[in-house]
Structure 1
Amino acid sequence: MMSRLSISILVSASIACSMLFVSCGTSRSSNATVYKTTPAGTRGSRPDKKTFDIPASLAPQSHALLTEAKRWIGTPYRYGGEDRNGVDCSGLVLNVYRSALQLKLPRNSAAQADFCKPLSKAMLMPGDLIFFDTAGGGGKKISHVGIYVGDGMMIHSSSSKGVIVSDINADYFKRTFAGAGYVEKYRDMIASNTPKPSPAQQPSKNSGAVTVEKRNEAAAEEPFTLSPVTSLPTRKVTPAATGTPKTAEPTPEEARKKVLNTLIEQKLDSIFNR
């Protein structure tokens, strides 16, 4: 028959074992199975940190997202929690995106994975999400999520340490890695703020052709010449011997008209003088 001391030891051991299976999980149901996320003694990685750097070169949206995430560091873990008194992994992601960018994401990590556009780990940029199968299902059941902050690190809510910054290439996270993804609206926000080339940098549509301004400049440099007009009739001017003003010689047409006028006058005179 077991002593009271033995029974007490067994009960304590059972409680300790049950505490190991706590995580953000994929459901808020009290009957859901939950899993541990960050075991003690993770090998082959940089140690967990309580802070991270935010490069000034990041897009405004990324800067806002990481700044908000940084405010949550040190918050204790609480399954189903969504505030500073306690938060789980998917609750952290939900709050950061909502507070920083007014973007609404699903509540649990599996739904967040479905919500994201998939991408490889090598293509992660700050603000993207990274998912893990901490249930040991070979990457088939997503039960944990973190926000990538750059330099191979992520911020997440660990069941044993609360909100911390961890190395995504740690042995444990390499083994449980289930995929990565980005929130499409977040990437669209970044793309819309990409600086466009100035008019001076944009290639001309008539590349290689002389522009109007250049043509005008070239024309201004050319000497201006006036070709003589040869199609108009000219009159020869002969100077008078006595120094009187120069008179122009009548044209053949004018001479012909003058002769006709003279003949007509003579004819009229002969008629009226009869």
Structure 2
Amino acid sequence: MTTRADFLAELLTWEGMPFHHQGRVRAGVDCLGLVVAVCTATGVSAEDVANYRRMEQGNALASELLRQTMGQIDLAQARPGDLLHYRWPGERTPERTQHVALLLGPDLMMHADGRPHVLRVTKARIDFHPDARLQGVYRMPLED
């Protein structure tokens, strides 16, 4: 089983990589692609989701990924490496995810930020955008 330390070490190597919608490689990743790429590189099982739309209501961006072996937890129980999922205002179906990130610390995460002024993998506060609503936190299957 992959250790939390190894998973986080791999995650940190992605900082600064460019954003590319549906990308899964260092030449460009989106938020889900970052999670899938880090999982793949460290041997963590993560089923990928393909052909999803960007920033639309009803977007099922990571629903399948979240339904795998990850159990939902409270933010207070979260540990570095756990997965955060967000939705934007107007989304009527809370289980449909529109953005994912990986927790680095109590208030810090890493994500592929697709906003026009960023367009890269970056560290950010978990409240990175005033409109983003944290919908859930999921335990990644990592050894402590």
Shorter-chain TM range is: 0.7 to 0.9
Is the partner of 2:130 in helix, strand or coil? helix
Q: Tell me by how many angstroms 1:150 deviates.
A: 0.7
Task: Indicate conservation of the 8 Å contact 1:110/1:143, yes or no.
Answer: no
Unaligned stretches of 5+ in structure 2?
50-61
Q: Tell me by how many angstroms 1:171 deviates.
A: 5.2
Is the partner of 2:33 in helix, strand or coil? helix
Corresponding residue number in structure 2 for 1:103: 44
Corresponding residue number in structure 2 for 1:128: 82
Q: Structure 1 residue runs of 4+, over 4 Å off?
A: none
Corresponding residue number in structure 2 for 1:145: 100
The normalised TM-score by structure 2 is 0.78
Corresponding residue number in structure 1 for 2:126: 168
Q: Tell me by how many angstroms 1:136 deviates.
A: 3.3
Q: Count residues with an aligned counterpart.
A: 126
Q: Give the alignment's Cα RMSD to 1 decimal.
A: 1.9
- Structure number with the bigger relative contact order (C-alpha 8 A, sep ≥ 6) is 2
Is the partner of 1:172 in helix, strand or coil? coil
Structure 1 or 2: larger strand share? 2
Identity of aligned residues (%): 23
d(CA) in 2 for partners of 1:114, 1:163: 24
Task: Indicate conservation of the 8 Å contact 1:135/1:143, yes or no.
Answer: no
Structure 1 or 2: larger helix share? 1
The normalised TM-score by structure 1 is 0.43
Is the partner of 1:130 in helix, strand or coil? strand
Superposed CA deviations along residues 189-225 of structure 1, whole A, max 9, x for unmatched, are 33xxxxxxxxxxxxxxxxxxxxxxxxxxxxxxxxxxx
Task: Determine which structure has more spread, i.e. the larger CA radius of gyration.
Answer: 1
Unaligned stretches of 5+ in structure 1?
1-59, 191-274
Pair 1:120–1:139, CA change in 2 (3 A): farther
Corresponding residue number in structure 2 for 1:177: 134
